[in-house]
Structure 1
Amino acid sequence: MEQIKVLIVDDEPLIRHALSTILATDPRIVTVNTKQNGQEAVKYCETNDVDVVLMDLQMPIMDGIEATKIIKSAEKSPAVLAITAFSSDDYLVPVLMAGASGYLVKDTEPAEIIAAVHAVHQGSAAISPSVSSDLISAVKNAYSKSRDIAGLIEDLGLTNREMQILDLLAKGFNNTEISRQLAISEATVKTHMAKIFMKLDVRDRVQALVAAARLGLVEIAREA
């Protein structure tokens, strides 16, 4: 059974221990190491095999946002899952734009943390329900819309099919679910997704979601 290799980064020893304990309850996840600041995390990821980084944001020496940006600049980089005590827009949008695949608050239930690790490892987004509404308002307020949506879509060159895929992405669908919903192959979904990344000038599906929401093209689904 292939395991998901996780690096935990937090300046508080108790948090590092608690997260390690939570992840240890899932046999498919192994904590390969823990680090206490972003600089240590960057150095570790440069020379070690990591699948997912659980990244705190407020840390000494180098914060989680800067560390995420550096880690994600590598050609083959792990997924980064931000986990912090803060749901402020000041942290939320910058870390997602830096390349994080998800954002959790530290009072998230253990089962949801484990599910989020699996989600980002598989290429999906993972956003705490408690901050989903903040994300919607933050990404919209981060960019002032000066053109109507139809004109923007035309300017970006997004096709109807690509807009359908973006809409399903915003609803939390993965590639398999999108292919079933649209009655097309997963390979076709991946081809459309690659074109979307190019047109929105982003690296992955989470960044595409953030960019599309920021531009007002989609609305990220709120948790009930």
Structure 2
Amino acid sequence: MVVDDEQVLREGLRRILQSFDDIDVPVVCAGAEALEQARLHGPDVVLLDLRMPDRDGLTVLADLRSLPSPPAVAMLTNFDAEESLSAALRGGAAGFLLKDTAPEQLVHAVRALADGGSVIAPRLTRTVVDGFVRAQPEHRPPLAPGAARALTERERGVLVLLADGMSNAEIARHLAISPATAKEHVSAILAKLGVANRVQAAVAAYRAGLHDAA
């Protein structure tokens, strides 16, 4: 599902995505309609404009995340305002994409999100990480105490791949393990790090220096 107040952009994204047989875009809408349409169609992935005049993207994100089976939500933006991006991350966004993302990269991102992956446009990665780090209250550590040390060697390797934006299926292929095993590793990582989703886990990897050391 595509949620954006700009009709031209909405329809453009729909045309790109629906040109692939394995992707269906049942609806495109503005922010005020998003929750109702999500309940009606049950999308796996929602591409959501971060800033809309009719309804704030962060509010729509919260609505979507409150659904019994919430979709993976990627925020669409054409700017890199740190505060808004970090707020979306804390709100459970699974990805951050620029509105001018190339069609092939857009399709790859949607497939990764549908498979449980996370995506961050390279230009936005540092902004998202820095904003999330600065937003942490001083009295609360960004990770559970000793969390990074609690990871097994295999889990550390999976976390690095996760931080690169790989989906469970891609991690499984890279490590020659089953997708179910990859999913189990990711679930264990999220629990040990005390984070809510894969994007926050990716931030944790950068903070702990695991990604840079890979």
Q: Given the two structures, how large is their TM-score scaled by the length of structure 1?
A: 0.78
Q: CA deviation at 1:131?
A: 1.3
Structure 2 residue 10 is matched with structure 1 residue 19: no
- Note the aligned Cα RMSD (angstroms): 3.2
Question: Helix, strand or coil: the match of 1:26?
Answer: coil
Aligned residues: 212
Q: What pairs with 1:78-93 in structure 2 (closer than 5 Å)? A: 78-93=71-86
Seq. identity, %: 36
From the superposition, tell whether residues 132 and 161 of structure 1 become closer, same or farther in structure 2 (CA, over 3 Å). same
- For 1:183 and 1:10, how far apart are their aligned partners in 2? 39
Q: Which moved more, 1:191-200 or 1:78-87?
A: 191-200
Q: Which moved more, 1:129-138 or 1:167-176?
A: 167-176
* 2:155 counterpart letter in structure 1: E
Q: Deviations over 1:173-202 (max 9, x none)?
A: 433454466565544433332222223344
Aligned counterpart, 2:91: 98
* 1:24 counterpart letter in structure 2: Q
Q: Deviations over 1:69-105 (max 9, x none)?
A: 2212223121112111222112211112212211111
Q: What pairs with 1:56-95 in structure 2 (closer than 5 Å)? A: 56-95=49-88
From the superposition, tell whether residues 171 and 114 of structure 1 become closer, same or farther in structure 2 (CA, over 3 Å). closer
Contact kept, 8 Å, 2:2 with 2:46, in 1: the verdict is yes
Contact kept, 8 Å, 1:140 with 1:213, in 2: the verdict is no
Structure 2 residue 137 is matched with structure 1 residue 138: no
Q: Deviations over 1:132-164 (max 9, x none)?
A: 222232233333778999994259844444333
- For 1:177 and 1:56, how far apart are their aligned partners in 2? 27
From the superposition, tell whether residues 178 and 73 of structure 1 become closer, same or farther in structure 2 (CA, over 3 Å). same
Structure 2 residue 108 is matched with structure 1 residue 109: no
- For 1:188 and 1:76, how far apart are their aligned partners in 2? 22
> Unpaired runs of 5+ in structure 2?
none
Aligned counterpart, 2:208: 217
- For 1:172 and 1:21, how far apart are their aligned partners in 2? 25
- For 1:13 and 1:55, how far apart are their aligned partners in 2? 13
Q: Given the two structures, how large is their TM-score scaled by the length of structure 2?
A: 0.81
Structure 2 residue 19 is matched with structure 1 residue 9: no
Question: Helix, strand or coil: the match of 1:103?
Answer: strand
- For 1:36 and 1:147, how far apart are their aligned partners in 2? 37
Aligned counterpart, 2:115: 122
Aligned counterpart, 1:206: 199
From the superposition, tell whether residues 95 and 219 of structure 1 become closer, same or farther in structure 2 (CA, over 3 Å). farther
- For 2:143 and 2:61, how far apart are their aligned partners in 1? 34
- For 2:29 and 2:142, how far apart are their aligned partners in 1? 44
* 2:46 counterpart letter in structure 1: V
* 1:11 counterpart letter in structure 2: D
Question: Helix, strand or coil: the match of 1:32?
Answer: coil
Contact kept, 8 Å, 1:8 with 1:19, in 2: the verdict is yes
> Unpaired runs of 5+ in structure 1?
1-6
- For 2:147 and 2:106, how far apart are their aligned partners in 1? 39
- For 1:154 and 1:142, how far apart are their aligned partners in 2? 19
Question: Helix, strand or coil: the match of 1:30?
Answer: coil
Q: CA deviation at 1:50?
A: 1.1
Q: Which moved more, 1:82-91 or 1:135-144?
A: 135-144
Question: Helix, strand or coil: the match of 1:108?
Answer: coil
- For 2:91 and 2:140, how far apart are their aligned partners in 1? 26
